Structure 1
Amino acid sequence: MVRLPVRVLAATAVLVLAGCGLGEPGGASGPGEAAGAATNTQADATPPSEEQPGGAVSDANAPDLEEPRGAPLERVVDWRPRKLENGEATVSCAAEYDAAGDGVPVANLGYSAMRRAMAACADTGVLRLRYDGKVTADFTALIERTVELADTLGIQSRILDLDSSGGQIEEAIRAGDVIGESGWTLWVREGSVCHSSCVLLLAAGDMRMIAGDVGIHRMIRIGSAATSRAELQQELQAVHGQVREYLQRNGVAFAVADLMMTVPNRDLRLLTDEELDRYGLSGQNAVADDLQRIRLAQKCGESFVRRKEAFFRAFDRECRVGEDEVGAMGECGVELRARFGFPDQQCPAESPLSEYDTALAADGGSDGGKRS
């Protein structure tokens, strides 16, 4: 039986220095390419190293993030050549990872290189982007470019498979806003982590599935000139306000931002499963669910919406509790679907866990199969 993974939640992001853009070797040019307060669970947490500053880091010289809210903003993707300097990314066209692995490496963020890496995913309709590294401007560029190409290629099922110790807060918010507008499932797989500012990414996912560690600690400012507690608080207050506003629009509790002001940066506060649920960082995103409900009722009918809601309640009880692997959660969910009449013949793409259907068809499996 093929082991299948599930959707995961994105986590709080950390500020890190952006890498330099480098040219793309050969190939066709793309657009613009020629232009140039809960129980402390810190026992097993590992603080960031001095060589790679961790924590929820804020750049004192970063441009203001304030922009009008309401309808999604028109985003123009900058396709100037650049390399992924602060992490490693791979693209897979299947949700399953135990047998299929993590796919094709993506280090060159040029248009033609990324399109080649993603082209096969147009056939499966599934894109899984695995990212292991810091949250920086490189990561934001990776997300923006992946979204534009996924839209162009018609790839609807999108999974962001995270392993990150954090990075730049401002970049986490920028990348999170793109994620929130473009229909992603977020994973933190067994053996992976989502620490510090990475948690902000989790907040943005439509669906979050978490088997690894999620942890937070205090924000710090790069190049701070503070000489007193009052000065340091004044420096952090604006960033804290931006984080709170970001969490609010993504349906996550303010308590997460407040915890990011209280846990010492040298420590790490791991969140329990109960806290992840309470703060709105795992499972279905309540804001995305509200927005999708009206559209689904119009397209698929009220019965579909009620069955889908009942499915996810059962999924939370039976699949997320007691499983310690994202793949096992996915297998459980696939088996559970038949009880609620999924996949739906009229709306297969909107059915729960539709990202697994391609792998099931290729494997000759069915929703009624038992896990090995």
Structure 2
Amino acid sequence: MRYLPRICGLLLISAVVAACAPKESAESTEATPATAMDSAGREDFGATVIEVPKPQPQWDPYENIAEIDWTPMELSSGQAWVSCDRDYAVNGDGEPLAELGFSSIWKRMQPCRETGMVRLRYRGKVASDFTALVHRVADMGDTLGIHKRILDIDSSGGQVEEGIRAGDAIAESGWMVWVREGAVCHSSCVLILAAGDMRMIAGPVGIHRMLRIGSKATSRAELNQELRDIHEQTSQYLQRNGAATAIADLMMTVPNRSLRQLTAQELELFGLSGRNAAADDLDRIRLGRKCGETFVRRQDAFFRDYSLLCTAQGEEVAGMGECSRDLKKRYGFPDRDCPTESPLSEYD
């Protein structure tokens, strides 16, 4: 009994200390420091450690497209013309465009607001100023409400990287691509062809090995590594634009000094002519919601017949367009409820 007062005193002191101590907030998320360590050398607070997986990088359709700064620049890698009319046989190529500043392009494209269509004729190399040209014309088209765009190209090729950059810009801005009779599309120009929503081809299309401009390779091993990098970039680009990656493989077998001309059957097989498969998939989803499934089925039937009847080898691009106009009447296009969504509306 003689220890009872001491015990009671200790209990009383403990109760007072507990009452005066600050209470831990229920909302606090901070852990109490501890000296125990887990097997990985981290402090162990007695809680389960959850490793949050890093998000996987996804392809960005704009990663290869330079931001438009509209700094005035000259077109030095080729020649360009702007027309508001698709009829090149009667009205020619349009007005020349050499300056790529905002005001210059605006002056050339402003008249096209009436027709709602622009045809950009380009003859020259695929280079950085060509990329700027198609990117700026598309941006000006958005500004002026001109959404029907034709790239009328004649090019023997150029820089692979710029072909990919220009192609990604074309793919995201709704271009029809022509290779007219008398024009050619060789080497990296094929990358431009792959990007178009619709391709009309009358001139020859050819491929060969594509080398990096300014290569520093001093041995076959170094050159082979560069070619592997180019092949990988090209394959990924072709795949996301609905074309066959087999084109990249075939390119590797043709010496740079030579040229392998693709037949009409190969162009179709590799997804380089007619309707772009990637663009078609997106359109089917969008048109199904906006215009209905019956519209989509009629459009599918139209494009099947168009491919059989209007794109024979040796046919002129102008003839392909006129053939499409007659064929559309059979399938009820332009559609009464969705006239601007009708196939090949550039010819309405």
TM score, norm. by length of structure 2: 0.81
**Are 1:298 and 2:289 an aligned pair?**
yes
**99 and 254 in structure 1: CA distance in 2 versus 1, 3 angstrom threshold:** same
Equivalent of residue 325 in structure 2, options 311, 325, 334:
334
For 1:325, give the aligned amino acid: E
Kept in 1: contact 2:187–2:207 (CA 8 A): yes
Kept in 1: contact 2:200–2:317 (CA 8 A): yes
Distance (Å, rounded) in 2 between the aligned partners of 1:172 and 1:328: 28
SS at match of 1:324: coil
SS at match of 2:212: strand
Distance (Å, rounded) in 2 between the aligned partners of 1:226 and 1:344: 56
Q: CA deviation at 1:76?
A: 2.8
**Are 1:108 and 2:99 an aligned pair?**
yes
Distance (Å, rounded) in 1 between the aligned partners of 2:113 and 2:215: 46
For 1:311, give the aligned amino acid: F
Kept in 1: contact 2:254–2:260 (CA 8 A): yes
Partner of 2:11: none
- Structure with the higher fraction of residues in helix conformation: 2
Q: Which one has the largest radius of gyration?
A: 2
Q: CA deviation at 1:229?
A: 2.2
**286 and 129 in structure 1: CA distance in 2 versus 1, 3 angstrom threshold:** same
Residues 240-279 of structure 1 mapped to structure 2, 5 A cutoff = 240-279=231-270
Distance (Å, rounded) in 2 between the aligned partners of 1:267 and 1:221: 17
Q: CA deviation at 1:83?
A: 0.2
SS at match of 2:340: coil
Deviation by residue 1:289-339 (Cα, 9 ceiling, x = unmatched): 001111101111111110011000000011112552000111111111111
Q: CA deviation at 1:348?
A: 1.1
Kept in 2: contact 1:190–1:325 (CA 8 A): yes
Equivalent of residue 202 in structure 2, options 208, 211, 214:
211
Deviation by residue 1:335-367 (Cα, 9 ceiling, x = unmatched): 11111001111111111221122xxxxxxxxxx
SS at match of 2:86: coil
**Are 1:194 and 2:185 an aligned pair?**
yes
Q: CA deviation at 1:71?
A: 6.0
SS at match of 1:99: helix
Q: CA deviation at 1:80?
A: 0.6
**Are 1:145 and 2:143 an aligned pair?**
no
Residues 1-372 of structure 1 mapped to structure 2, 5 A cutoff = 68-70=58-60, 72=62, 76-357=67-348
> What is the aligned length?
291
SS at match of 1:119: helix
Distance (Å, rounded) in 2 between the aligned partners of 1:316 and 1:110: 39
Kept in 1: contact 2:159–2:212 (CA 8 A): no
Distance (Å, rounded) in 1 between the aligned partners of 2:145 and 2:214: 43
Structure 1: tracts of 5 or more residues without a match: 1-66, 358-372
SS at match of 1:187: strand
Distance (Å, rounded) in 1 between the aligned partners of 2:273 and 2:253: 22
SS at match of 1:98: helix
SS at match of 1:150: helix
Distance (Å, rounded) in 1 between the aligned partners of 2:325 and 2:175: 19
Distance (Å, rounded) in 1 between the aligned partners of 2:313 and 2:128: 37
Q: CA deviation at 1:226?
A: 2.9
Q: CA deviation at 1:68?
A: 4.9
For 1:197, give the aligned amino acid: S
Distance (Å, rounded) in 2 between the aligned partners of 1:90 and 1:118: 10
Q: Report the aligned-residue RMSD.
A: 1.5
**71 and 197 in structure 1: CA distance in 2 versus 1, 3 angstrom threshold:** closer
Q: CA deviation at 1:90?
A: 0.4
For 2:87, give the aligned amino acid: E
Kept in 2: contact 1:96–1:356 (CA 8 A): no
Distance (Å, rounded) in 2 between the aligned partners of 1:241 and 1:75: 21
Kept in 2: contact 1:86–1:136 (CA 8 A): yes
For 1:192, give the aligned amino acid: A
Kept in 1: contact 2:126–2:155 (CA 8 A): yes
SS at match of 2:91: coil
Which structure's relative contact order is higher, taking Cα pairs within 8 Å and 6+ residues apart? 1
